[in-house]
Amino acid sequence: MVDDNFQLFSSIRYEPALLELSPEQLADIGWRGQPSAFYMLDFHRDRMLRAAKHWGWSAAVDALAGPQGLKRLQYFLQDITRQAGNNPHRVKIILARDGALSHEIRPTPPTPLNNLFPACLPELACACNCTCEHLGPTGESRLPARDFAFEILVDNQATPKSEFTHFKTTHRPMYDEARSRSHLGLADKKEVLLVNAKDVSIMEGSISTPYFWRDGRWVTPPVSQGFNVTQGSGGNDGTTRRWALERNLATEQVVPVASLTDGEECWISNGIRGFISGKVKLH
- pLDDT for 91-111, tens place per residue? 999 999 999 999 999 999 999
- What are the C-alpha distances in Å from 185 to residues 171, 179, 181, 182, 207? 19, 8, 11, 9, 12
Q: Contact 278/152 with Cβ under 8 angstroms?
A: yes
Percent of the chain with pLDDT over 90: 80
Residue extents of the structural domains in the chain: 8-110, 116-280
Hey, what CATH class is 116-280 in? alpha beta
How many C-alpha atoms does 36 have within 13 Å on its Cβ side? 23
198-238 pLDDT, tens digit per residue, is 999 999 999 999 999 999 999 999 999 899 989 999 999 89
E strands, the chain, where?
8-14, 89-95, 101-107, 150-159, 190-196, 202-205, 209-214, 217-220, 251-252, 265-270, 274-280
> What pLDDT is stored for residue 130 in this prediction?
47
> What pLDDT is stored for residue 30 in this prediction?
60
Indicate whether 132 pLDDT > 50. Answer: no
- Cβ neighbours around 35 below 10 Å, total: 14
Judged by DSSP in three states, 208 sits in coil
Bridge partners of 275? 269
Q: How far apart are CA 236 and CA 42, in angstroms?
A: 17
17-44 pLDDT, tens digit per residue, is 999 887 777 666 666 667 889 999 999 9
The pLDDT mean for the chain works out to 91
Q: Is the dihedral of CA 203, 194, 110, 44 positive or negative?
A: positive
Give one word for 182, left, alpha or beta, with left for phi > 0 and alpha for psi -120 to 50. Answer: alpha
Average pLDDT over residues 154-172: 97
> What pLDDT is stored for residue 129 in this prediction?
47
Q: Contact 241/223 with Cβ under 8 angstroms?
A: yes
CATH number for the segment(s) 8-110: 3.30.470
Q: Is the dihedral of CA 168, 239, 145, 210 positive or negative?
A: positive
Q: How far apart are CA 5 and CA 79, in angstroms?
A: 26
249-274 pLDDT, tens digit per residue, is 999 999 999 999 999 999 999 999 99
Of 170, 211, 163, 169, the closest CA to residue 191 belongs to 211
Indicate whether 248 pLDDT > 80. Answer: yes
